[in-house]
Amino acid sequence: MITLTVNGKVHQTEVDTNEVLIDTLRRLGYKSVKRGCETANCGLCTVLLDDKAILSCSLLSLRADGKHILTLEGVREEAKLLGGFLAEQGGEQCGYCTPGLMMNTIAMKRELVDPTDEEIAHYLMGNLCRCSGYVSQLRAIRQYLEV
Amino acid sequence: MYTVRSYVRPESLEQAITELKSGKHNRMIGGGVFLKMQHRAISKLISLDGLGLDQITQTDESVIIGGAVSLRDIETNPIILDHFPALSYAVSQIVGVQLRNLAQVGASVFSRYGFSDIIPCLLAADASVKLAEAGEMKISEFLDRERDWDILYEISLPKEVTLAYDNLRQTNGDFSSLNLAIGKTEDDWRIVYGARPMGAFLAEAASQAAKDGQSLEEVTRLVQEEVPFGTNLRASADYRRHLAGVLLERLWEVQ
Amino acid sequence: MKFVGRQFKKIDSSAITSGKPIYTDDLAAADALIVKVLRSPHAHAIIEEIDVSRAEAQPGVEIVLTHKDVPKTRFTLAGQSYPEPSPYDQLILDSKVRYVGDAVAIVAAQTETQAENALKRIKVTYKKLEPVLDFETAIDHPSIIHDEEVHFNLPQHVGGQDTKRNIMASYGFSFGEDIETTLADCDVTLERAYYMQAAAQSMMETFRSYTYLDARDRLCVITSTQVPFHIKRQLARALEMSPSKIRVIKPRIGGGFGAKQTSESEIYPAIVTLKTGKPAKIVYTRKETFSSSNSRHAMRITVRIGADRSGRIRAIDLHSLSDQGAYGHHGFTTVKLTGEKSIPLYNKLEAAKFSADVVYTNKLKAGAFRGYGATQGTFALESAINELADRLEIDPVDIRQMNIVQEGETTLAFDKLIESSKLDRCIETGAKMIGWHDKPRRRVMEDGTIRATGMAITMQGSGIANIDNATAIIKLNETGDLSLFISASDNGMGTDTVLVQLAAETLKVDPDEITLIAADTDLTPYDPGSYASSGAYVTGMAVVNACNDLKNKMTEMAAAYWNVPPAEVEQKDGAIYHKDTRLPFIDLGRILSVGPSGGTLVGTGSFGHPASPPPYMAGFADINYDPKTGLVKVVDYVGVVDCGTVINPALATVQAESGVVQGIGYALYEDVQYGPTGQLFTNNFLQYKIPTRPDIAQVRIAFEESYEPSGPYGAKSIGEVVINTSAPAIQSAIHAATGRYLYHLPMKPEAILFGEK
């Protein structure tokens, strides 16, 4: 039995020793968290663990015991703002990489001060997207950072 | 993905090593990122979480990095940025922030990955590592050792070294096709190539020549002669041999 | 226009950006059986024995299926209209495996771990056969990949198939004068062979399908697909059951790019659900998606061009050899586009010829990938045109302007009447934006690196001429709002949104009043699906036609209600007017919902067309080349597109940006490497490198809008044309930088620096 605080809500749940955080979160109903690979390359599964962006596909759920987790479902205001900019640009496209990208972008906004385009691209390097070609997303993220 | 029968969080290093040695299918876990890609059955998985090994500190002579420090912490830590900005840069090129927030340096170095961007830096800096059983030793000695049941819990880099690092990647976030780290002190040079694609290699003759004030051309010639390069999906041995000279030239200019 | 050409967010954007559970795996029942497939480790082998007893005995295992347990009707799962031009050459499970990754057995268990444990316990004895791995020696190879009886819908004299020789298709066309005579008469001729790799579509959502039996024991398939109707029909054949017992539903899709124009994953949970009666789902791993689904066709295209000294291109001959892999999905059609969507760009031709051979090999089967053959054909032909221009010392821009097809012309090659084209303007604008004439094509920078430019042009189609036909239905609800039923299978690009815009424009109503219901074979009308650049054009016209039908019915109804001539009745702003009398839709809905004269008004519209109007694009690459490492970075890319009327500027722009970037990956990074026994090495994102954010610098898109008379408000397609120019434009820039022509994709730093082996 582990205790996870997800988006402020405390969950006590049994987890298999093999279970990784993404599967626990999806089982608990946080379906925004997506998986796109098995090699820690795609960034789709990004959530914030004690305020740091991590790959939820790579962390055993047992190691998240007692931690605070934030998923896209838990950042409504920021998601609405950033999501609005993405949608205006058409940069959300199929949307499958969007939750992970948005979580890492939110982490970036909290961490970097006035980043350049290169710094943004580097911070978000681990978030693959195949639909957008990235440039529309960069336009949206720049707008979001300026708010 | 591996399968695990049990997960253990020991309360001390001693306990960790006892747990590790209690069965031949036991494994240490760092961030678990690369371990996840291996298909193996693990009896007991042991982490160093909560042992205070996630700190970067310094003494007058050294910068000391705990084994559970994340790659992202190395990248952003003020002490590292102050003394070894090249090390910060080297880790910053790895995949993505989310991975670097998880991956731990002790496990990464202990695994001796051929593609490592960190090990060439440590070898060039003539760093030392501390192992729970075998004790403290130079990274070079550690790399020569047979893999055994031990825990790498601390790395220390001598501050007297000026470190430079560069790499060539086909795409950003990819493994290096080749990387180069050079460690310089007042009277020494250490030229180390990694991702050849084999592991880090100290070019001794080239280092000596550089120390003796030989020209870039001569040092390059020696590098290309003494460093073994191989072929994999990313690049051929010939191309890597050529790149070895290019990277050396780049860092040569920086020095 | 009020809604066409204006900015609209995607209708699903708020669900997407708030992480709503709208994708296939989000919708699957928690107790669905987990389906896994045992994959062949051999490229070519006979299954001599297969023992599943230990797997069946594993805890939680519900069922294990082998080739002995599946129907024996061969079929194709290429998502194409009936009768499919792809051969019926596969079974759900076969006693012969034809590539590393081919399906050997199906397991369903309560949990993923149990299913995987069961897979490990299936014992298979293979008799290995010599594999055919090199597509250039596949024809008449001693190993025959399909030695069974294969059914082809295409007659042999059309398709040229000869499976005993590993030939899946072989055909050709000639246009105009005799090609050999014309080439012999040209001042300058050029012959070159180009090699293109089997790139992976790499959509972020891997293949996945969820199946269950509904209250009437019908098989329901919720699946991540571009082709729900084709899947329904093909599953019925494969499973030997009536299509009336199958329902296919497409939820939101996490990208497809053609990969999901083939039914990859549906069949496995479907047969499990039929056999067990229980819900089942399969989620492909990324590795399975790379190594057990489909990719672009690897090809060798040989180009022969002849021109006179002034630069007039008189003859083009193109031969394409296409590596089909193990099964014939999209083989005949993809290769055709290498010629059909490249040669007609040029129309001063006296002679043109196109011929193709498609060969089976023991590798991952090829399928559809954005561009669908046009991408390969464009790389070959445009690279050859650039090399010809260099030879003639003519600017690549000028040689295009001199030779391209003009609006109103009929092309010599493939006989296309071009009713809309601004290709000349695309080239002109693109050249201006990149500064083509303002700077030398090769510039040495202060740091010793080299900046260089290159360009290429391309075309595609809009839907498939004489084949595609889509229907739309729009219903006026009693509450005055509208329900639009379509099946265009938006897989992320925003087709649904564009269709709502078209409906709003036609009915002069606020888009918020229109609810789009998409892609459920029980509810929505037939549509071939999301492929062949058909969404905005084919389904778009169907929507316009349906809305006009409804509009007429509403007008007639209102005219009868007011007892005035229909000609005096007008529709705007969500209401019907007769002079100053206004009848809002909501009131009309209410009137229609009661009494003897009531009834629901439904408009239907269909569209199919004898032509496939080509969109055009000119692409200009500005690269930075490091002469020490061979590394190329595209620092600026300008794409100017003629997609006819732009319906949604932001979404069209993203389509173009996305295509350019996928094209950059295809040109420079996306390497496909096989091991000596046919195992795919590049089967994950560690080894198969799609562009990452820092790889991509500036991409600038502009539009030169022509007006396509057959399209909705003048629109043509945009989805595919945008991927084609990157590789040849970059190839030309690399030549400008280095003096070296590359003939193999991807163009890796090593080959640029040292030359191709």
**Residue C714 lies inside a defined structural domain of this protein:** yes
Confirm whether pTM is higher than 0.90: yes
| Domains A2-73 and A75-146 agree in fold | no
Q: Which of C605, C463, C592 is nearest to C535 (CA)?
A: C463
**pLDDT tens, residue by residue, C569-589:** 999 889 999 999 999 999 999
Q: Do C689 and B174 touch (CB under 8 A)?
A: yes
For residue C660, pLDDT beyond 80:
yes
- Domain of C21, in residue numbers: 15-129+201-291
Instruction: Tell me the ipTM for this assembly.
Output: 0.99
Residues C285 and C196 in one domain: no
Give the residue on B whose Cα is nearest the Cα of C682: B233
Burial of B225 (0-12, 13-18, 19+ CB in 10 A): exposed
Q: Do B235 and C750 touch (CB under 8 A)?
A: yes
Per-residue pLDDT band for C163 (boundaries 50, 70, 90) equals very high
Whether residue B197 contacts residue B214, with contact meaning beta carbons closer than 8 Å, is answered with no
Strands A68-70 and A2-6: parallel
Fold of B56-158: 3.30.465
CA distance A85 to chain C (A): 10
Torsion sign, CA atoms C217, C221, C227, C230: negative
**Stretch B241-252: mean pLDDT:** 97
Domain boundaries, chain B: 3-47, 56-158, 162-254
Residues C210 and C104 in one domain: yes
Q: Do B172 and A125 touch (CB under 8 A)?
A: yes
CA atoms in the 13 A half-sphere facing the CB of C665: 28
Give the residue on A whose Cα is nearest the Cα of C494: A93
**Stretch B4-11: mean pLDDT:** 94
Rounded Cα distance, C14 and C177, in Å: 57
Q: Which chains touch A (3 or more CB pairs under 8 A)?
A: B, C
Residues C703 and C689 in one domain: yes
Residues C441 and C496 in one domain: no
Tens of each residue's pLDDT in chain A, 147 residues: 999 999 999 999 999 999 999 999 999 999 999 999 999 999 999 999 999 999 999 999 999 999 999 999 999 999 999 999 999 999 999 999 999 999 999 999 999 999 999 999 999 999 999 999 999 999 999 999 998
Give the residue on C whose Cα is nearest the Cα of B173: C692
Q: Do C750 and B175 touch (CB under 8 A)?
A: no
- Using DSSP, state whether C600 is helix, strand or coil: coil
Residues 64-103 of A with CB under 8 A from B: none
In sequence order, the 6+-apart residues with CB closer than 8 A to the CB of C152 are C87, C88, C159, C161
B216 interfaces chain C, CB cutoff of 8 Å: no
User: CA geometry: angle at C294 spanning C688 and C119, to 5°?
Assistant: 85
Per-residue pLDDT band for B148 (boundaries 50, 70, 90) equals confident
**Residue C523 lies inside a defined structural domain of this protein:** yes
B254 interfaces chain C, CB cutoff of 8 Å: no
Rounded Cα distance, C172 and C160, in Å: 9
Torsion sign, CA atoms C57, C58, C62, C64: negative
Fold of A75-146: DNA polymerase; domain 1 (1.10.150)
CA distance A58 to chain C (A): 15
The encoded tokens of residue C651 equal 């979404």
Per-residue pLDDT band for B147 (boundaries 50, 70, 90) equals confident
Interface test with A, best of B97, B100, B102, B175 (most A CBs within 10 A): B97
**Residue C377 lies inside a defined structural domain of this protein:** yes
B38 interfaces chain C, CB cutoff of 8 Å: no
A3 interfaces chain B, CB cutoff of 8 Å: no
**pLDDT tens, residue by residue, C282-295:** 999 999 999 999 99
Residues C620 and C652 in one domain: yes
Q: Do A31 and C26 touch (CB under 8 A)?
A: yes
Domain boundaries, chain A: 2-73, 75-146
Residues C26 and C93 in one domain: yes
- Using DSSP, state whether C642 is helix, strand or coil: strand
**Unique residue bearing structure tokens 């098995």:** A38
CA atoms in the 13 A half-sphere facing the CB of C347: 21
**pLDDT tens, residue by residue, B185-217:** 999 999 999 999 999 999 999 999 999 999 999
C627 interfaces chain B, CB cutoff of 8 Å: no
Interface test with A, best of C658, C661, C664, C682 (most A CBs within 10 A): C658
A83 vs C18, C26, C698: nearest CB: C18
Whether residue B227 contacts residue B162, with contact meaning beta carbons closer than 8 Å, is answered with no
CA distance C692 to chain B (A): 6
**Unique residue bearing structure tokens 């990095």:** B65
Interface test with A, best of B25, B98, B171, B172 (most A CBs within 10 A): B98
> Among the residues of A4-134, which ranges form H helices?
21-27, 76-89, 98-111, 117-123
**Stretch C641-650: mean pLDDT:** 98
Class assignment of domain A2-73?
A: alpha beta
Q: Which of C15, C368, C406 is nearest to A31 (CA)?
A: C15
C754 interfaces chain B, CB cutoff of 8 Å: yes
* Chain center to CA of B36: 19
CA distance B222 to chain A (A): 35
Dihedral angle at the C-alpha atoms of A101, A105, A106, A108, nearest 10 degrees? 140
Q: Do A133 and C21 touch (CB under 8 A)?
A: no
For residue B254, pLDDT beyond 70:
no
A18 vs B3, B34, B96: nearest CB: B3
Distances (CA, A) of C461 to C21, C117, C340, C652, C661: 34, 48, 9, 16, 20
**Mean model confidence pLDDT for chain B:** 96
Per-residue pLDDT band for B255 (boundaries 50, 70, 90) equals low
> Among the residues of chain B, which ranges form H helices?
13-20, 71-76, 78-83, 85-92, 97-102, 105-110, 118-124, 139-144, 204-211, 216-226, 237-254
Please say which residue of C558, C588, C607 terminates a domain.
C607
CATH number at residue C495: 3.30.365.10
Output b/e per residue, C148-162; b: 16+ Cβ within 10 A: eebebbbeeeebbbe
| Domains B56-158 and B162-254 agree in fold | no
Rounded Cα distance, C2 and C204, in Å: 35
**Stretch C669-676: mean pLDDT:** 97
Which residues on C lie below 8 Å from B172 (Cβ)?
Answer: 692-695
Class assignment of domain B162-254?
A: alpha beta
Residues C33 and C56 in one domain: yes
Residues C424 and C344 in one domain: no
The encoded tokens of residue A7 equal 């988006």
Q: Do B98 and A60 touch (CB under 8 A)?
A: no
Please say which residue of C607, C637, C659 terminates a domain.
C607
The encoded tokens of residue A82 equal 């950033």
Rounded Cα distance, C112 and B3, in Å: 12
B230 interfaces chain C, CB cutoff of 8 Å: no
CA distance C260 to chain A (A): 13
Residues C322 and C287 in one domain: no
* Chain center to CA of C541: 20
Which residues on A lie below 8 Å from B101 (Cβ)?
Answer: 52-54
DSSP codes joined into one string, C541-589: HHHHHHHHHHHHHHHHHHHHHHTS-GGGEEEETTEEEETTEEEEHHHHH
Residue C728 preceded by cis peptide, ω within 30:
no
Domain total of chain C: 4
C631 interfaces chain B, CB cutoff of 8 Å: yes
Interface test with C, best of B172, B238, B249 (most C CBs within 10 A): B172
Q: Which of C467, C488, C485, C489 is nearest to C476 (CA)?
A: C485
Burial of C553 (0-12, 13-18, 19+ CB in 10 A): middle
Give the residue on A whose Cα is nearest the Cα of B96: A126
In sequence order, the 6+-apart residues with CB closer than 8 A to the CB of C132 are C44, C138, C141, C143, C145, C166, C360, C361, C362
Q: Which of C29, C178, C42, C182 is nearest to C100 (CA)?
A: C42
B59 interfaces chain C, CB cutoff of 8 Å: no
C494 vs A31, A80, A90: nearest CB: A90
A94 vs C30, C204, C651: nearest CB: C204
Residues C711 and C735 in one domain: yes
Q: Which chains touch B (3 or more CB pairs under 8 A)?
A: A, C
Rounded Cα distance, A88 and C182, in Å: 53
Rounded Cα distance, C10 and B245, in Å: 51
CA distance B8 to chain A (A): 10
